[in-house]
Amino acid sequence: MTAAAMIRLDAITRVFHMGDQEVRALDRISLDIAAGEYVSIMGPSGSGKSTLLNLIGLLDHPDGGHYTLNGIDVTTLSEPEQARVRRTRIGFVFQSFHLVPRLTAAGNIELPLMLEGMAAAERRERVEAALKAFDLTDRAHHRPAELSGGQRQRVAIARATILHPAVMLADEPTGNLDHRTGGEVVALLEDLHQRGTTLIVVTHDRELGARARRHIGMRDGAIVADET
Amino acid sequence: MKLADTLSLSLHSLVSARTRSLLIVLAMALGVGAVVVLTALGDGARRYVVGQFASLGTNLVIVLPGRAETTGGFPGAALGQTPRDLTLDDAQAVGQLPDVRRYAPLNVGAAELSSGGRLREVTVLGSNAELLPIRHMELAQGRFIGGAAQIVLGNAIAQDFFPDGRAIGQRVRLGDRRFRVAGVLTTQGESMGFNTDEIVIIPVDDAQALFNTETLFRILVEARSRSAIEPVKAAITHLLKQRHDGEEDVTVITQDAVLETFDRILRALTLGVAGIAAISLAVAGILVMNVMLVAVTQRTAEIGLLKAIGAPAATIRQLFLAEALWLSLAGAALGFMLGHAGSWLIRLAYPVLPAWPPAWAGIAGVATALLTGIVASLLPAARAARLDPVRALSGK
């Protein structure tokens, strides 16, 4: 373990109750990820890789252990404080995009800025820049239903990066895309990594997983491989 | 998140679910509209009754012979004589009291009116010239009684006897006496059981001679102001007691007392009716709750997403509360307009009923709508705020 770890998981345990059965989705996991790393987490379904990602993204809470992000024990933060950490430090990209269907591409990208309480004029500027950066300017006023899969994921990435988070979490980002569009999305994410963002990708696509600098293998809630 | 953004984002989601939103707004509007219309009806009825009383006269004090304890009419009718009659002298003395603006002695009887071969029984009022202003009567033609042997005809009687409309100056017979028509009253219709269209008015002296009596039926007194009513009442009681050898054998009633009672009863009635209408607002509130609960379920994934991109629970709650606020606001505004339109239609259909919704009804209706809407959405909003983001994202 290095002192410079950005993400530090210490004996993290997460237990789900399925009826009267207890499932240890994460079983005393300890893991350090430094700033700027490119990590892939791979493993079969039910291995706990998505749970791990949700936990790192503060969407889920451990039943035991400590999670330190940038030197702060985030497990002890209050709900609004955790929300603030999610908003400003963490970006999420999902397999199913998760765009708000009634909002336009621009409206979806604007959401985190709105939640941050940014003034409308500044928001507009930032959204325009993001649309341009992700080559979506001519799609700005289209609703998600009118966009292709690749465009939708680009909107989602634009939304995830609009507040320049230090960590980008991607859960099967190419799972709903064809090979070529998937490749484009991966290129976008890797470009973010090139510019310093810590990138953590959960996938069971071996080809995608292999692109990362560090490969973490999971099985039954435990880390079974950690190779650089 | 800024308040303006919360409001605009929630409005946007309502506009996206147009039908659902419109139905809720309609339910709210009907509730508020019902409160406004029903209170307009109730208050209209109150005003109508109060107006009827007011048309009897303003600041009116009425003196009648006998004590009011005697039930079943006034004792004079039953015994043929009151202990001591009300006389014209009594009336004149009352008229001299301070704070009395004007007074009119009143004699009532029935007699046969005949002219030009026509004959019919009419109610006869004997009084003086002050009766006209005291009782708020108006003349259609001619002038009021000003001297002996003059008669003023009720509008329907004038129509009966002089269909050509030329009644003024004509001679008529009333009982065994001859009168000249001085004027004709306007149509006023029924006013508290007294149809002024079917009466004739003659000077009180003529009436006393006609009915061969010294007694007055009533003395009508108009006080100078509303605040003078009670002092005048006390002064009259005192004066007549003195004049009647210390016997308190008259009853003095004020129109105000009667009016206030009616006013109170009808106000209570209006409140009751408004309360019943408010129940429909409660029903609308339950509708809002139901629809918001459905919306939370439908938008589970969206709520999960908002949480994932950093919306705290408080923001989620505020978004749903803002939606309820918009719905209630729109419903209340529409209901307010519906209510006023409904009241207008009632006034159009029944012009005699002043069905104006009182200001408090509008305010109370709108406030109740806003309150029920917000209260009803507290539970759904809290439920949305509590959603677990991981489960919500997977749509569970």
Q: What is the CATH number of the domain that holds A125?
A: 3.40.50.300
Is residue A3 a part of any domain in this protein?
A: no
At A160, the pLDDT band (50, 70, 90 cuts) reads very high
Does the structure show a pLDDT above 50 at B81? no
Residue for token digits 């292709």? A148
Is residue A162 a part of any domain in this protein?
A: yes
Is residue A128 a part of any domain in this protein?
A: yes
**Least reliable range by pLDDT among A31-45, A78-92, B238-252:** B238-252
Gyration radius of chain B over CA positions = 33
B309 with A111: Cβ contact below 8 A = yes
Burial of B198 (0-12, 13-18, 19+ CB in 10 A): middle
- Between vectors from CA B270 to CA B269 and to CA B274, what angle results, nearest 5°? 120
Query: What gap in Å lies between CA B218 and CA B241, rounded to an integer?
Result: 16
Q: Are B22 and B138 in the same domain?
A: no
Is the Cβ of A103 closer than 8 Å to some Cβ of chain B? yes
Q: What residue numbers bound the domain in which A214 lies?
A: 38-60+78-227
Is residue A95 a part of any domain in this protein?
A: yes
Is residue A16 a part of any domain in this protein?
A: no
Give the pairing type, strands B118-127 and B199-203.
parallel
**Least reliable range by pLDDT among A183-187, B233-237, B258-262:** B258-262
Nearest CA to CA, how far is B3 from chain A (Å)? 9
B312 with A92: Cβ contact below 8 A = no
Predicted confidence at residue A79, as pLDDT, reads 92
At which of B227, B248, B269 does a domain end?
Answer: B248
Q: Are B229 and B330 in the same domain?
A: no
Q: Mean pLDDT for chain A?
A: 91
* Closest-approach residue (CA) in chain A for B7: A114
Which of the pair, B190 or A155, is modelled with greater confidence?
Answer: A155
A-B Cβ pairs (cutoff 8 Å, strict): 70
Does the structure show a pLDDT above 70 at B293? yes
Is the Cβ of A54 closer than 8 Å to some Cβ of chain B? yes
Is residue B282 a part of any domain in this protein?
A: yes
Is residue B60 a part of any domain in this protein?
A: no
Comparing CB atoms, the residue among B9, B13, B312 nearest residue A114 is: B9
Predicted confidence at residue B295, as pLDDT, reads 87
Q: Are B293 and B215 in the same domain?
A: no
Q: Are B208 and B357 in the same domain?
A: no
Predicted confidence at residue B80, as pLDDT, reads 45
Nearest CA to CA, how far is A116 from chain B (Å)? 6
Q: Are B113 and B13 in the same domain?
A: no
Q: Are B197 and B119 in the same domain?
A: yes
Predicted confidence at residue B76, as pLDDT, reads 46
Comparing CB atoms, the residue among A84, A98, A114 nearest residue B5 is: A114
At B330, the pLDDT band (50, 70, 90 cuts) reads very high
Q: Are B334 and B230 in the same domain?
A: no
Predicted confidence at residue B227, as pLDDT, reads 84
What token pair was written down for A99?
A: 């765009």
Strand, helix or coil at B221?
strand
Comparing CB atoms, the residue among B301, B302, B310 nearest residue A83 is: B310
Query: What gap in Å lies between CA B137 and CA B370, rounded to an integer?
Result: 48
B309 with A159: Cβ contact below 8 A = yes
Mutation site, A55, A74, A79, A111, interface B, largest B CB count within 10 A: A111
- pLDDT (mean) for A146-157: 93
What's the number of domains chain B is made of?
2
Q: What is the pLDDT of residues A58-77, one digit of tens each?
A: 999 999 999 999 989 998 89
Neighbours of B238 (CB within 10 A): 12
Does the structure show a pLDDT above 90 at A165? yes
* Closest-approach residue (CA) in chain A for B310: A87
Question: By the 8 A CB rule, do A49 and A43 touch?
Answer: yes
Nearest CA to CA, how far is A141 from chain B (Å)? 15
Is residue B145 a part of any domain in this protein?
A: yes
Q: What residue numbers bound the domain in which B377 lies?
A: 3-53+261-393
DSSP A97-145: ----TTS-HHHHHHHHHHHHT--HHHHHHHHHHHHHHTT-GGGTT--GG
Q: Are B243 and B286 in the same domain?
A: no
Q: Are B240 and B96 in the same domain?
A: yes
Comparing CB atoms, the residue among A83, A90, A112 nearest residue B312 is: A83
Does the structure show a pLDDT above 80 at B67? no
B309 with A103: Cβ contact below 8 A = no
Q: Are B93 and B236 in the same domain?
A: yes
- pLDDT (mean) for B333-341: 94
Is residue A22 a part of any domain in this protein?
A: no
Return the closest-CA partner of residue B244 out of B30, B94, B36.
Answer: B94
Is residue B73 a part of any domain in this protein?
A: no
- pLDDT (mean) for A171-182: 90
- pLDDT (mean) for B338-349: 93
Q: Are B148 and B289 in the same domain?
A: no
At B16, the pLDDT band (50, 70, 90 cuts) reads confident
Does the structure show a pLDDT above 80 at B188? no
What's the number of domains chain A is made of?
1
Predicted confidence at residue B171, as pLDDT, reads 92
With a CB cutoff of 8 Å and minimum separation 6, the contacts of B360 are none
Q: What is the pLDDT of residues A113-127, one digit of tens each?
A: 999 999 999 999 999
Predicted confidence at residue B254, as pLDDT, reads 85
Is residue A121 a part of any domain in this protein?
A: yes
Does the structure show a pLDDT above 50 at B172? yes
Is residue B58 a part of any domain in this protein?
A: no
- pLDDT (mean) for B231-236: 92
- pLDDT (mean) for B350-359: 87
Does the structure show a pLDDT above 70 at A1? no
- pLDDT (mean) for B90-108: 92
Q: Which residues of A touch B393 (CB under 8 A)?
A: 59, 94, 98
Complex ipTM value = 0.92
Comparing CB atoms, the residue among A86, A101, A114 nearest residue B1 is: A114
Nearest CA to CA, how far is A170 from chain B (Å)? 12
Comparing CB atoms, the residue among B302, B304, B315 nearest residue A115 is: B315
Nearest CA to CA, how far is B4 from chain A (Å)? 10
Predicted confidence at residue A9, as pLDDT, reads 94
* Closest-approach residue (CA) in chain A for B3: A117
Q: Mean pLDDT for chain B?
A: 87
Is the Cβ of A198 closer than 8 Å to some Cβ of chain B? no
Is the Cβ of A95 closer than 8 Å to some Cβ of chain B? no
Half-sphere exposure of A141 (CA within 13 A, CB side): 0
Q: Are B274 and B218 in the same domain?
A: no
What token pair was written down for B116?
A: 């030009």
**Least reliable range by pLDDT among A29-43, A132-146, B13-27, B251-265:** B251-265
A83 with B307: Cβ contact below 8 A = yes
At B256, the pLDDT band (50, 70, 90 cuts) reads confident
Is residue A97 a part of any domain in this protein?
A: yes
What are the backbone dihedrals phi and psi of residue B37, each rounded to the nearest 5 degrees, phi first? -65, -45
Does the structure show a pLDDT above 70 at A174? yes
**Least reliable range by pLDDT among A13-22, A199-208, B255-264, B342-351:** B255-264
